[in-house]
Amino acid sequence: MIRQSTYKSAAPFVGSDFDDGEFEQIRLLLLERRGFDLGMYKDQCIRRRIASRVRASGMQNAADYLQLLQQREEEIDALLAAVSIHVSQFFRNPRIFALLEAEVLPGLIRRAETRPDRTLKVWSVGCAGGEEPYSLALLLDELAPDGLKVDILGTDISAPVLRQAAGGYFDALRVSEVPEDVLQRYFAPEGRGFRVCERIRRQVRFVEHNILSDESQPAADLILCRNVMIYFSRADQDRILERFAATLTPQGVLVLGNAESLIGRAREAFSPLFAAERIYRRR
The domain ranges of the chain are 20-84, 94-282
The CATH number assigned to the domain with range 94-282 reads 3.40.50.150
CATH class of 20-84: mainly alpha
Say what the pLDDT of residue 144 is: 95
Length of the chain: 283
Question: Residue 147: left (phi > 0), alpha (psi -120 to 50), or beta?
Answer: left
pLDDT in tens, 173-202: 999 999 999 999 999 999 999 999 999 999
Q: Which amino acid is at 35?
A: G
- Supply the pTM of this predicted model: 0.81
Residues of the chain with pLDDT under 70: 1-17, 40-42, 85-87
pLDDT in tens, 136-173: 999 999 999 999 999 999 999 888 889 999 999 999 99
Please answer whether residues 169 and 141 qualify as being in contact, where contact means their C-beta atoms are separated by less than 8 angstroms: no
Say what the pLDDT of residue 35 is: 74
Say what the pLDDT of residue 179 is: 94
CA 169 to CA 187: how far, in whole Å? 9
187-190/193-196 β-pairing = antiparallel
CA 70 to CA 38: how far, in whole Å? 17
Other Cβ atoms within 10 Å of 93 Cβ, number: 16
